[in-house]
Structure 1
Amino acid sequence: MNIVDDLKLQYKLGGIAHKLIYWNVAFFLVSLIFFYQFKNGAFNFPSWVALSSEPADFLLKPWTFLSYAFFHSGFMHLLFNMIILNFASSFFLTFFTQKQFLGLYVLSAIFAGVCFVLGYYILDLSASIVGASAAIMGILVAVTTYQPLMNVRLLLIGNVKLWHITAVILILDLMQFRLDNTGGHISHLSGAFFGFLYIKLLQNGTDMSKMVTAVIDFFTNLFTKSPKTPFKKVHKNYNNRPIEKPVSRIVTKDKLQQQIDEILDKISQSGYDSLTKEEKEFLFKVGK
């Protein structure tokens, strides 16, 4: 099995956090082809991708309140965000569901985009932003709000509290607020605030991520054809003889399914990398 097949299998078996990382990397590769200017050595994102603070742009292209969160202005920008996303998701998904993770990611990005537009309107500035930082900050601050005293072991430093890491990131954002990338820092802090707000509302019984789940389910059901009920032909029994009931051919769990379950259990306990080459190839063949 080559590396492409291996990546496909990891994408299929991975959770929503892994899929978001794949999507962000994929969009970055697309932007290198279409939006990177090799002469200037910089990205030039069009107004239908990046979120612009100009009303003439975002009012006609409302999807940019979300699309901007899947593009990045450079490799280091992407790398740092994906490291933090992987870090934050590992803690968040310990306590919350995949649907809550995706819902918070989407809502944090939209909320931060609105705050960016309003902030630049008040400051009388004009710019565009890209990056998943605001959505990721929403995830990080949410889990920090829920479990601030969780121990995190850092290389060369040792054990620290989760809130220590989050506080350092937020302080750095505040220190650079007026130095450069003001719009980016507005969105980061807005995403962080939304993560805090999400947990507080959730603790009071309001799960805002259900809005995103409802929208996704609506479009999924809209484009998914309901299975047709097969035509049933009725036969009359003129001889009044009892009709024998067909013997059920359903097997509760066959050998193939049992093997799949055993491999998935192994992944959940030890991770995907613990699989042998034969087990990976088996899952890939079954998934085709």
Structure 2
Amino acid sequence: MAAADSPLFRFQLWRAALPPALRLLLTVNLATYLAYVVLALLAAFGVPALAVVDWLTLPANPQAVLARPWTPLTYGFVNAFGGFFGLISFVFGFYWLQWMGRDYEENHGAHRLFGLYVLGALGGALVGLALGAVLPSPRGVYFGLWTPVTAVLCAVATLHPDRQIGLFLLGVVSMKWIAIGFVVLSLVFSADLTVLGAALAGVLFARAQRAGRDPAAWAAPFFGARRSRSAPTPSRNPFKRSDPVATPAGRPSKRGASGASGTALTVDQILDKILEKGYESLTKEEREALDRASRD
């Protein structure tokens, strides 16, 4: 196990504290972005490595999709963001998925976040291809996590339209206006037609939840959840966490921990338990301790 003050240990803490579906989605998206960077470097030296990426992105021309029928799903996991501004775009998308996805999953379950992400990508592809069929000579390809992230954003905004979120330079804004503004800006600056379909998918997904249905019931077996068509009522408000219990020294208390070495030992035991039995095996106290340690 890495040292308690090392970047690797901090990364292990952060990753272990993530709920299972979000951990999977973030890991896949980070892996595909790093793979694209490596392939782009190889291409700079004359190796035709980027052809692999071309077979996973979604063509804007519907006729081209017939030769690659898997792309309406795979494009939502392929992050072919090039250059410095591409890096910035990926980092922001990654952060938004981590921010909204964590609270959504903790309130509604792992399989619902995963199902929302996948259905958002498919909904975006359906609308993007439908519009591409009527627009003159559609060009380019669609890719990246921003389309399914839009579905997550719009689902959260539909479930909690008046929830107030503080944004840098903009102040406190309601979730519904954040979602609307995001979709409009995406269309203006990127002309990404899949965003429309993802937004619609997110809204319909959340409305189905409100009606007591579970549109992601098909994904329940992947996360050890019992398959059900009904959606339970959230147990707590999203975007809100209980405050850690502070010790007199101002640091969160941990059972069985005394000083830095005791804290590391406790977290090590929790990490080992996750590796052996999975995140879902943790008790409430262990999850709270891991979450506090990841934010220290």
TM-score norm. by structure 1 comes to: 0.68
Return the match for 1:113 from 109, 118, 125. Answer: 125
Q: Secondary structure at the match of 2:54?
A: coil
User: Quick check: 119-128 or 129-138, which moved more?
Assistant: 119-128
The 3-state SS of whatever aligns with 2:55 is coil
Query: SS of 1:153's equivalent?
Result: strand
- Asked whether the equivalents of residues 150 and 195 of structure 2 are also in contact (C-alpha less than 8 Å), the reply is yes
Matches within 5 A, 1:249-288: 270=244, 276-286=263-273, 287=275
SS in structure 2 of the partner of residue 281 of structure 1: helix
Paired residues for 1:125-144 under 5 Å: 125-144=138-157
Specify which structure has the bigger relative contact order, considering alpha-carbon pairs within 8 angstroms and separated by 6 or more residues.
Answer: 2
1:38 aligns with 2:38: no
Contact 1:52 1:129 in 2 (8 A): yes
Q: Provide the C-alpha distance between the structure 1 equivalents of 2:14 and 2:95, rounded to a whole number of angstroms.
A: 17
Q: 2:33 is matched with which residue?
A: 28
Match of 1:83 in 2: 95
Q: 1:7 aligns with which of 5, 11, 22?
A: 11
Q: Residue 212 of structure 1 corresponds to which residue in structure 2?
A: 219
- Distance in 1, Cα, partners of 2:127 & 2:110: 26
C-alpha separation between the residues in 1 aligned to 2:177 and 2:37? Answer: 35
Q: Which of these two proteins has the greater Rg computed from alpha carbons?
A: 1
Question: For residue 49 of structure 1, what is the aligned residue in structure 2?
Answer: 56
Contact 2:186–2:195 (Cα < 8 Å) also in 1: yes
Measured against aligned partners, the alpha-carbon deviations of 1:106-154 in whole angstroms (never above 9, x if no partner) come to 0110111122222212113132111111101111111111111112233
Once the two structures are overlaid, the 10-residue window that deviates more, 109-118 or 86-95, is 86-95
Aligned AA (1:7): F
CA offsets, 1:219-261, max 9 Å, x none? xxxxxxxxxxxxxxxxxxxxxxxxxxxxxxxxxxxxxxxxxxx
Contact residue 91 and residue 143 of structure 1 kept, 8 A? no
- Structure 2 residue aligned with 1:19: 24
Counterpart AA for 1:104: L
Structure 1's unaligned 5+ residue stretches are 219-266
Contact 1:47 1:57 (C-alpha < 8 Å) held by counterparts: no
Partner amino acid, structure 2, of 1:82: F
User: How far has the Cα of 1:9 moved from its partner?
Assistant: 5.4
Separation in 2, partners of 1:149, 1:268: 21
**2:61 touches 2:132 (CA, 8 Å); kept in 1?**
no
Instruction: After superposition, give the CA deviation of every residue in 1:254-283 in whole Å (9 maximum; x if it has no partner).
Output: xxxxxxxxxxxxx99749x96722222223
Contact 1:173-1:189 within 8 A present in 2 as well? no
CA distance in 2, matches of 1:125, 1:205: 39
SS at match of 1:139: helix
Change (3 A) 1:39 1:77: farther
Query: d(CA) in 2 for partners of 1:268 and 1:59?
Result: 50
Q: Which amino acid aligns with 2:33?
A: F
Q: What CA RMSD, in Å, does the superposition of the two structures yield over aligned residues? A: 3.2
Q: Which moved more, 1:131-140 or 1:84-93?
A: 84-93
> Which of 191, 194, 202 is residue 198 of structure 2 equivalent to?
191
1:285 Cα offset (Å): 4.1
Distance 2:196 2:95 in 1: 19
Structure 2, unmatched stretches of 5+, are 225-240, 246-250, 255-262, 277-296
Counterparts of 2:169 and 2:186 in 1: how far apart (Å)? 24
1:146 partnered with 2:159: yes
2-structure distance, mates of 1:269, 1:18:
23
Task: Give 3-state SS (helix, strand or coil) of 1:152's partner.
Answer: strand
Q: Is the 8 A contact 1:103 1:209 kept in 2?
A: yes
Alpha-carbon contact 2:62-2:133 (below 8 Å) kept: no
Q: Deviations for 1:47-90, whole angstroms, at most 9, x for unmatched residues?
A: 32111234564224322212111222231221121122123224
Contact 2:111–2:223 at 8 Å: present in 1 too? no
Tell which deviates more after alignment, 23-32 or 156-165: 156-165
TM-score, structure 2 as length reference: 0.66
Inter-partner Cα distance in structure 2 for 1:149 and 1:34: 43
